[in-house]
A = this chain, B = another copy of it.
């Protein structure tokens, strides 16, 4: 049975696994399979931290998770220390600190709940972002100087306007949108939304071209609902950059047209060279 499950387990499930390593301690093995260049993707790390938090908290579902990226991580062992602040009745809150060789890499703060009990008002002023049908959307495999190992893990198709920058065609606003799912066919779930919220090229590329490295300093994901199987529809937008600091606001909708997550990150736009 162990052999059978090892055969069927998805890349994302296997490579976000956490194992107990003592009181409030967890251990993960960061895979190089989600790298952007030499650096593991921030959303992938956030998903691992969120998975450790889910093991430590009594509620099943992440509701809001914030990660601060302190230093570049690398593939290999990661230790995760979890401090539970309040195991409440309807929500519970905890912090986590992810470290490699004793050096802090990612700090998290998260509140969990049971989304199946969220029975309050539902009201959406807008529908999912407009996207051409999948067959009219385009793949992007990374530029000539990029080694996007992560692209092997995801199925991604961008609105043609969102990859105009790869041909030198820039838009007036930063708006990166497309379809996304796992390349191995694993269905999206709540945990995976932490990753999908950070797996598109920076939205600022659509208006400014590939101006530089845009590392994530902080990423917050609001989880709204469990996604249905099928590709997600996503849009990421940046409207302001001040002294190099920009926001990137994301919305993730499932194949049923349901809003499943909102994200906002603070990133730094660092010009090449």
Taking a contact as CB atoms under 8 Å apart, the answer to whether B245 and A224 are in contact is yes
Top 4 closest pairs, chain A to chain B, by CB: A120-B244, A118-B243, A109-B109, A224-B242
Question: 1/0 contact trace for A215-255 toward B, CB 8 Å?
Answer: 00110101011000000000000011111110101000000
Residue of B nearest to A211 (CB): B121
Q: Which residue, of A104, A126, A220, A242, has the highest number of chain B Cβ atoms within 10 A?
A: A242
Can you name 14 A-B residue pairings with CB atoms under 8 Å?
Answer: A63-B217, A64-B218, A66-B66, A68-B85, A85-B97, A85-B107, A107-B109, A108-B109, A111-B218, A119-B244, A120-B243, A122-B243, A224-B245, A225-B243
- A79-122: contact bitstring with B at CB < 8 Å (1 yes, 0 no)? 00000011010010101010000001001111100010011111
Residue positions of A touching B, CB distance < 8 A = 63-64, 66, 68, 70-71, 85-86, 88, 91, 93, 95, 97, 104, 107-111, 115, 118-126, 172-174, 208, 211, 217-218, 220, 222, 224-225, 239-245, 247, 249, 259, 262, 264, 266, 268-271
Are A239 and B125 CB-contacts (below 8 A) given A64-B266, A66-B220, A107-B109?
yes
Cβ 8 A contact of A243, one of B86, B115, B220, B271? B115
Pairwise interchain contact B104-A241, C-beta atoms closer than 8 A: no
Beyond A126-B239, A174-B125, whether A86 also contacts B70 by CB under 8 A is yes
- Tell whether A120 pairs with B64 under 8 Å between CB atoms, given A220-B264, A242-B224, A242-B259: no
Chain copies in the assembly? 2
How far apart sit A241 and B172, CA to CA, in the bound complex (Å)? 30
CB distance from A46 to the nearest CB of B (A): 13
